[in-house]
Amino acid sequence: MAFPCVAIVKRWRRKTALLAGVALLGALPAEAAVFPGPGEVVGRSLCREVRPGESLIEVARAYDLGFNEIAAANPGLDPFIPPAGTPVAIPGEHLVPAAVAPGRLVVNLSELRLYFVPATGPPLVATFPVGAGSEGKETPPGSYRVMEKRTDPPWHVPASIRREQPRLPAVVLPGPDNPLGSHALRLTDDGLMIHGTNRPWGVGRAVSHGCIRLYPEDIPVLFRLVPVGTPVAIVREPVKVAVQDGRLLIEVHRDDGARIDYAAEATRLILARDALGRVNASRLFRALAEKRGVPVDIGR
């Protein structure tokens, strides 16, 4: 039940340069996902054709999406060698998680995406795809705080990683071999960071040792937005509900780690909006079954 996909030849670029307060951010990447706020729904979904020699990994990065997002939105399409000319869905629209609040940075592990609404200044909603911890090294949900911000951070290799990879030095200096990338935000939990990466293919995947990684072009934007002391909530919200322009929307992500009853959670969120009478049951059940990770209109 993904959004309709009609090939669009002209590439759509988010209008970040037109945002009020853009001077605060400096030069933004063309596809940086920073949107005017406030709002429960941000971004825009669209479609375009696959170009010769292009993989979905490259398409995802061009539109500031994680690999998980583009793969879920295009089931059945080979992510590594998609046929040139094939329409590919660009799932750029997102429902803002319930945990988001002004001044709080939220990482939703269920969708591998980060959200931040600044407490002051022009109303903005910033959202970026992230990579997170792999099985056995999962990123721990909980409440944290940004304790330190560093540019060109050295990587002090944890003992646990050196046991796995004994050839690693005790410290990796800034540069192309440093997995922390160009910027890092250290959280209150010992060793837990939000940082860039020298392996952008890992964004939208659970492949790290627990830290949260962003694309190299995204981390400088987040770094400028987030002050030291910012509270951080790492959550699991596989089901999100929002109302926009009279539409009742649901976004469902497949997250085995959430351990929830999806139907019960959807019902709870819809009831909280006093919108149960507006639901098209067949659309709702299909969205819950497919778990495509894209907003779906479930209104009658």
Q: Which residues are catalytic?
A: 195, 211
CA dist list (Å): 291 to 1, 2, 238, 239: 9, 10, 9, 9
Distance CA 299, CA 270 (A): 11
The 10 Å Cβ neighbour count of residue 25 is: 19
Q: What is the 3-state secondary structure (H, E, C) of the chain?
A: CCCCCCCCCCCCCCCHHHCCCHHHHCCCCCCCCEEECCCCEECCCEEEECCCCCCHHHHHHHCCCCHHHHHHHCCCCCCCCCCCCCEEEECCCEECCCCCCCCCEEEECCCCEEEECCCCCCCEEEEEECEEECCCCCCCCEEEEEEEEEECCCEECCHHHHHHCCCCCCEECCCCCCCCCCEEEEECCCCCEEECCCCHHHCCCEEECCCEECCCCCHHHHHHHCCCCCEEEEECCCEEEEEECCEEEEEEECCCCCCCCHHHHHHHHHHHCCCHHHECHHHHHHHHHHCECCCEECEC
Contact 142, 236 (CB under 8 A): no
